[in-house]
Chains A and B, each alone.
Chain A
Amino acid sequence: MGTPLGARTLTVLVIVAPWLVWLPNVQGTLAVAVLGAIALAGAFHGWGRLVARLARCELGAALAIWWGIAAVLALSGLGIALHVYDPRALVIGGAVAHAIEVALAFDGTARALEQALRWERVRYWIVPFGLVVVLGGLRAVGAAGSVGARPFDDDGHVIAQVKRLLDTGALADPIGYAREAQLGGHAVLAGLVGAFGDARSAHAVDALAFVLVLVLALAELRPRDAASATWSSLLVIGMSATIIHWPDFTPQWLAVGLLLALYVTTDRARGALGVGLLAGGACVLRDELVPVACVLLAYAWWRERAPWHVDRARVLALVVTAAAVVVPYVLARHAAWASVDRSARALVEPAHAGFIARLALFVVVAAASLPLLWLPWRELGGTRLRWFGVAAACGFATIAIAPATERPIAAHYVWAIALAGFDVLAIEAASRRELVRVAFVAAALACVLVGESRSSTVHQAFWLRYYDLLHDIAYLRAAAPEPPAYDVLAVVPPGETVAVWVSRPELLDYARNRIVDLRTRRTARLRVPGPYDRRLEELVAATRARWLVLETDDAYVQRANDNSIYELACARDRELCADSLEALAYRHRVVAEHDGVKLIALREP
């Protein structure tokens, strides 16, 4: 392949590959998943190149992809604010930009490929990149078929929100997706699968981000000799093997990638636009990443600080770009909340400790985290690394105050920051020649991680994860379309507001009715035994819903198991035995009932 003809052929393939998913004969779910992942990567690259061209900044392909992800987040924010979010337009737009960029630099790309494919270079990158292709590729494709994966995050049913995005172009459900812990960045990125697939494959985007994180790390490590290739391989295997208990559907690798890309970009000349985009992107993804992004944003300013009149344009680029990403999301969330009565927010807003207590906790944890960074600081030095250390400490501190609120999910983001830190350390360490302590610690850590993930019996164990992924891939070969569901909604007039408590909200038609999803982690706590607690009824009223769709579940069985007196007293169906949600069916008319799903007219007693 390391010939001019081979390189040019590959370059043509690079241009064409993102378009293959739309070929009419690409029908199988597996083929769509594989080619869709390539299309997304191509689209991200295209948007990233476009931004780089605007900023007149030289970028490698791997970093451009992450700039592209941040750009897509920015555009999507505008899209959801204006209710015009369209994943197809985003992906096709990016693919066009990608094709044009590669075509314009055709000779240069072909030459670079030709150089890269020479044996003296191939021998060093083939091992780490081969590992990325196998370990990352299986994860990216398999995630598209993981129908058993949990669809919830701490705000709500993410797959349903992706379906809502695809149907309506907006995230306008303040109850079903309150966005208390984030601004909706994950949902819009996950929604990109709507360009060629359905919402069920939304897990594939974060899994693709795993591959893109590794590619970015390898691009920075530049495996050009045995030492850098060993570091690269160690990183890939360590990241693949690490056991992370991450049950919810949250943006794990997207967060890692955005932080890593932000760290890398802070060192780039003319990178202000990219830094702003990436910092904004991290902020809209999760609240826990905000302090990390802010510290790195501050470092980007500090690194080339100059008198205001000289540095004005750069500072504005940093701040305005970041704000431009965040503000549309804030507006969209505000608009969503405005669509329901104020009382609703009080019912679902997470309780938390006072500001002073949280601030104190933040400071203590941030200070306590700093000694952890002693070894890399002492061995590696470097101002940028120190700033990253401070940013990570702030991130840990932000997460640490989560127990003071009702957001246990936040603790998982320690991993996102730690994994980004692990990448950063590997990148920094690989560029040094003599690193006895860091090299040994890194090697021992990687061995321990692999050893632990090998000997673990939990479901996240190394091979069990790939066992699941490969069965997910096998499923993609024979995946069936979703059967129709919730026929009872047919009697509801179009445009009316419907509150729903159903197990498969992703099968609803969000374009036909305004739907409010009640089945979230926060509203679930309002569903209590007995018909006398009116909080859930108040919440439904605050949404101005005229209809309620309630899917029968076995909350009764749960209550009966917990309480034998209840089991005896409530052997028959009666209002006294209903919980606060089921009681609504007794107080209002049940218009239709089919297959365990009741349609209740809330305005009719």
Chain B
Amino acid sequence: MSRDRALRVSAIAIACALGTLGLALRDSVIAGGCAWLAFLCLVLSGWGWLVIRAARVDDVDFGLRAVWGAAGYLAVAGVFVAFGWCTRGVVLGLVAVGLVGFGWREWVASEPTLASVATGVRALRANPIAGYCAIVLALAMLVHVVGAVAHLDRNPWDDDVAYTPLLKRLLQIGDMVEPFSFRRLAAYGGQTVLQALVGARGNLASVHAFDQGLCFLLFVLTLVGHARSRRTPAFWLALCVILLALVPDTSINTASYWSGAVCFYALYRSLARAESSRDLVVALVVAAATCTLRMNYIAVVVPFLAIVFVFRARGAWRAELRAWRAPIAVAAVYLVPWAIASFVACHTFLYPFMAGTWNRALPLQPSGWAWSDELYFIVWSCIESQPIIVLPLLFPVFALASDSRRGRPFSALFVAGTLGFLALAHSFSSADAFTIWRYAFGSVIVTVIAFAIEAGDDDGPVRTTPLGRWVMLAALLVQLVLARTGVMHRYSELFHDLSEARHTAPASAFEGRRYADMQASVPRGARLAVLLDDPVFLDFARNDIFNLDTPGFASPPPGMPAFVGAAPARAYLLDLGIRYVAFVQPDRSRYFYRRDFWVYRTFNDYEIFRIMSAYMVDMIDTLLELQRSSTVLYDRDGVIVIDLGTDAGAAPPALAPEEVRRDNFVRALAEREGVIGEWMLNSRKDLLFLDGMSTPMYLEPEIEHRWFEVVPTEPSERDKKKDKDKDPTKKDEWPQHGTPVRYMHRRVHFRVRGGSDMHLVLRGHINLSLIYTHPRLDVSLAGAPLASVTADEHGEFAIDVVVPVGALGGWRDLYIIFNTVGQPELDVSDLKIARLEEVRWEPR
């Protein structure tokens, strides 16, 4: 056997060995997990070869080929998902196909993979300094990937309740039909199907191995391939790799982050190299794959393709249209199975344009939203860029770069990313800037990295000015400097994860048995709705399981009744054929279904979470009520299974709209729980607390008697994080109960509405010892003065006015302004000059 043939056989043997090792060491997190991850890299590369052969395009570097392979895998897997056949066996079969593809390429490629590796090693030995740097960077990447495999912590909000159980369901029964899950609504499911590649090993513990491990690795490989094709100087490449290693981790769960980034990168590179219609087919397959990962990626992918098309079509649009016809058709066909699967699960294939199972009583925008609020949100989101902190400075550099390629892919990516970001901020304004950037991570990181690589090539097609290049360099360096604080903490956690992952977690075995016992109380094959901390331990093959996920957001028509008690809920569930319900007792829930936690959040959080909390508390109360009126089949360790019976009974019709019922429920809940003070300081149906005041807080008992000397201010999230970075064991020292207040600034802004004469009452205290005066409080509604009061000698103030219905109507702005706080010799810079203790806004 020649040396060449031996190298080829060895590569194939290594691939087979890695796969075998991964399957054999099923319970080993690190060794088995890493072997399987390396195997999957080769498998995806094999899939990429199949795509190349099918499309009859030129071979590409390993990273890009693997992403093409992932797109090819998703194309085939989508069909299985649509039919509900995408079980573990099928996924393993698809893995085997990829392995065959790898072997095929290895056999016929001009140069064996191992020979390429040897060539690279020789090149590094010839240049020891570069070699040393490359080894250090490679080790850093390796640590990152292994750390992702060893990172077993899951987000109890998203992963424990929805994402991981969905993966388990897919592997067990082959579908993703979860009509009660709003997380299923917001994606076609491509991310879950890709995660199934890792889960198919038979171990779901390494939930981050796919996105943070495999996709991160593929991103780095794609970057290296891109840099080699551009002949980027080693310094630029090293800087980009270091940036990737140190970029702050903005992910909070196992949804798509690096998978989106690597797909966008592959899409960019595929479009940049696309000359023929066949190249475009591959590019649009990658585009379609990207769309399956998250719905909001569509808002970037579609304009990206459209802009590239427009640039390419200038002067010859008929010819270009002909060239694009087949690729567009392929992409459409690609997405059809995913759309079918989505429609079967959620009654929509284009959320949020088609609401599907989404609860229409829940708007995506906050109540009383005005154009100024939207403008504020967009400006805030644009300035507070994450994770690239100095992105505002890079914006003009990107905008002014010129791309001489046919489709101007870089300019198109930049414009499409910007449009997608604005669309996201517009449509999801109840979120915060961090969340918006989290969703936009994929396109943002690719724009930055792609520009850095392109700008590093003096003779490349993307031209920027020398100053633009300096700005890019300075931005990368500043980014590294600013990111330094979190790096140590992150890496210490990573090594902690590595040491922890060596031990298997016995808790999961106990929990698995407990859930199995519980499930055994339900007849095999019966429909079962669950509200459990860890649905991942359920056997989805045994019962037809509906995960209630986060109640209130999504449910099959006519919609889960909320805030109407147990009888309508029983009727609704029985109508869906769901006779059995398993839930965790609120005082025994591990995390997500703790009633007290949600009661607290109902009165101490932003609107979206207050609404979520109300639905959660209502669902928990409803299930407890159902427990009292139903047969209890299982009740152990806080997990309960009830049999709803067969008689739905007559449910009283709900007369008021859901928004009104929710508002009344929250009021009644506040009275029941003895937190009416908190309720009074929170937004409700006809009253919104806007700017000029703190979030609801509790007075600190130890400083209350001298509160005039210390103005307690809530530490910002950033300060809290800094404290945690310094001392991870530090507890949140702010009181969580007591007298609720909101600290007021000089101008306090509410928004109100009403259908009749309304009674407004506001009470509070002025901090006399901070401002040394008795300022008057002027109250105005929509620009018309309503009242003017002065605090008494103790600083107490009370505003009590009746607002005639004629002054109301739609939402109106209500302002309270302290007429002065200015002192000539004293700068009251932190205008927390008073506290608000009670706000009533009721029909007279």
A and B held together in a complex:
yes
Judge whether B749 and A558 touch: CB under 8 Å: no
B654 interfacial by beta-carbon distance below 8 Å: no
Contact yes or no, B747 A466, CB < 8 A: no
B708 to chain A, nearest CB (A): 7
Question: What separation, in Å, do the CA atoms of A447 and B475 have in the docked complex?
Answer: 6
The yes or no answer to B508 lying at the interface (CB within 8 A) is no
Given contacts A447-B393, A470-B372, A474-B813, contact A439 B467 (CB under 8 A): yes
Q: B122 to chain A: closest CB distance in Å? A: 35
- Enumerate A554-575 residues with CB–CB distance to B below 8 Å: 554-555, 557-558, 561
Question: Which label, helix, strand, loop or mixed, suits the secondary structure of the B interface?
Answer: mixed
**B residues less than 8 Å from A42 (CB atoms):** none
Cα distance A504–B467 in the bound complex, in angstroms: 50
| A contact residues around B812 at 8 Å (CB) | 478
Question: Which of B158-166, B217-225, B239-247, B777-785 interfaces with chain A?
Answer: B777-785
Q: Which residues of B contact A134 (CB under 8 A)?
A: 379
Partner pick for B393 among A234, A440, A474, A481, CB 8 A cutoff: A234
B831 at the interface (CB under 8 A from A): yes
* The one of A150, A229, A471, A551 that contacts B749, using a Cβ cutoff of 8 Å: A471
Residues on A with C-beta less than 8 A from B463 are 226
User: CA of A279 to CA of B829 in the docked complex: distance in angstroms?
Assistant: 34
- Whether B774 pairs with A440 at a CB distance below 8 angstroms is no
Cα–Cα, bound, A481→B774 (Å): 21
A504 B820 Cβ-Cβ under 8 A: yes
| Contact yes or no, B370 A443, CB < 8 A | no
Segment of B175-183, B383-391, B420-428, B624-632 engaged in the interface with chain A: B383-391
Are A231's CB and B467's CB within 8 A?
yes
Residues A434-491 near B (CB distance < 8 A): 434-436, 439-440, 442-444, 446-448, 450-451, 454-455, 457, 459, 462-463, 466-467, 470-471, 473-475, 477-481, 483, 485
How far apart are the CA atoms of A474 and B785 in the complex, in Å? 17
A119 and B719 CA atoms in complex are apart in Å by 46
Q: Which residues of A are found within 8 Å of B118, using beta-carbon distances?
A: none
Q: Is A250 an interface residue (CB 8 A)?
A: no
Q: Which residue of A lies closest to B716 (CB)?
A: A457
Query: CB within 8 A of B467: which of A443, A454, A483, A595?
Result: A443
Interface stretch, picked from B30-38, B92-100, B395-403, is B395-403
Q: Given A454-B389, A471-B691, A561-B708, are A478 and B825 neighbors across the interface (CB < 8 Å)?
A: no
A234-B772 contact given A463-B379, A478-B813, A503-B819, CB 8 Å threshold: no
What is the CB-to-nearest-CB distance from A438 to chain B, in angstroms, rounded to a whole number? 9
**CB-based contact B822/A552 at 8 Å:** no
Which B residues lie within 8 Å of A519 (CB)?
A: 824
Which segment, of A67-75, A165-173, A182-190, A520-528, faces chain B? A520-528
What string of 1s and 0s marks CB contacts (under 8 Å) between B807-821 and chain A? 000001101010111
- Name the one of A231, A462, A481, A557 contacting B383, with C-beta atoms under 8 angstroms: A462
Residues of B within 8 Å of A552, CB to CB, are: 774
* Complex interface residues of chain A between 277 and 334 (CB less than 8 A to chain B): none
Chain A residue at minimum C-beta to C-beta distance from B485: A455
A478 touches B467 (CB 8 A): no
Q: Please tell me if B731 contacts chain A, counting CB pairs below 8 Å.
A: no
Does A131 belong to the interface (CB within 8 Å)? yes
* B459 contacts A by Cβ under 8 Å: no
Within 8 A of A (CB), among B748-785: 749, 768-769, 771-776, 778, 780-785
Asked if B745 is at the interface (CB within 8 A of a chain A CB), the reply is yes
- CB of B392 within 8 A of CB of A226, answer no
Cβ of A237 and Cβ of B383 under 8 Å apart? no
Q: A460's closest neighbor in chain B, by CB?
A: B829
Q: Does B646 contact A (CB under 8 A)?
A: no
| Contact residues in A for B471 (Cβ distance below 8 Å) | 230, 234, 443, 446-447
CB-based nearest A residue for B478: A447
**Contact B747 A148, beta carbon cutoff 8 Å:** yes
Q: Are B822 and A233 in contact (CB under 8 A)?
A: no
Q: Is the CB of A504 within 8 A of B819?
A: yes
A466 touches B380 (CB 8 A): yes
User: Which A residues are in CB contact (< 8 Å) with B400?
Assistant: 124, 127, 226, 229-230, 233
B717-750 CB contact bits vs A (8 Å, 1 = yes)?
0110000000000000000000000000111010
CB distance from B831 to the nearest CB of A (A): 6
A443-B473, A551-B773, A552-B774 known, 18 other contacts, Cβ within 8 Å: A127-B400, A227-B466, A229-B396, A230-B467, A230-B471, A238-B393, A248-B827, A440-B473, A454-B385, A463-B384, A467-B376, A473-B375, A474-B372, A478-B813, A553-B773, A555-B772, A557-B772, A595-B776
Q: Considering the complex of A and B, which 3 residue pairs feature the smallest CB-CB distances, nearest first? A: A233-B396, A480-B780, A478-B813
B contacts, CB < 8 Å to A: 370, 372-373, 375-376, 379-380, 383-385, 389-390, 392-393, 395-397, 399-402, 433, 463-468, 470-471, 473-475, 477-479, 481-482, 690-692, 708-709, 716, 718-719, 745-747, 749, 768-769, 771-776, 778, 780-785, 788, 790, 812-813, 815, 817, 819-825, 827, 829-831
A to B CB contacts below 8 Å, 6 in the list: A230-B396, A443-B470, A451-B390, A471-B376, A474-B376, A553-B774
